[in-house]
Amino acid sequence: MEVGEYARTVMHATIRHKMTYVNSFRAFWGYREGGVREYEKWMTEALAEAKLAPATGDVPVAALLFDEAGERIGTGHNQRELAADPTAHAEIVAIREAANRVGSWHLENTTLVITLEPCTMCAGAILQARIPRVVFGAWDEKAGAAGSVLDVLRDRRLPHKVEVIAGVKEAECAELLTEFFNAKR
Ligand SMILES: [Zn+2]
């Protein structure tokens, strides 16, 4: 990420949500230590997964869960249409896979990387799984629950708070969705 691009990301984030700005600032220092580069690498993997969406008409969204060693322990695609399941969002699929693998509902010290801002249901699941960090790409202006419409992940009234790093590879993540919806029209 170039400095100019980073500045635009921070500016953009500031407009969206002041907490996002704080987190982006934190991410900047992380960047100096390779943090943001790691997030970008993970988002590239998530984008590749999202592009593998089956021809079921499912919106191409992917979620990956990484443990503290950086190992991928959960992979999810949105499969609401495929499974005829309203809860089969990418995040839920990835969280279930990781919980099964780890043998615990408690997914501490993990990072969830999603191509799209989570909805209220997924934000709720993230809190329930005690996931401490969420990295997402595109904003969901209509249903996002991490700063767009609601901010469930950072609601002061709730006991568990999540660090949110928003807008990682935002343009590519948004483009994938735009292409999908344009093709559907
Ligand atoms: Zn969701």
pLDDT in tens, 147-181: 999 999 999 999 998 999 999 999 999 999 999 99
Tell me whether strands 62-66 and 133-138 are parallel, antiparallel or unpaired.
Answer: unpaired
More confident: 42 or 26: 42
| Residues carrying an active site annotation | 91
Buried b / exposed e along 90-113 (16+ C-beta atoms within 10 A)? bbbbbbbbbbeebeeeebeebbbb
Predicted local distance difference test score (pLDDT) of residue 185:
76
Q: What is the pLDDT of residues 96-148, one digit of tens each?
A: 999 999 999 999 999 999 999 999 999 999 999 999 999 999 999 999 999 99
> pTM (2 decimals)?
0.82
Give, as residue ranges, everything with CB less than 5 Å from ion ligand 1.
89, 119, 121-122
Q: Give me ligand 1 centre to Cα 11, in Å.
A: 26
Q: Give me ligand 1 centre to Cα 119, in Å.
A: 4
More confident: 5 or 50: 50
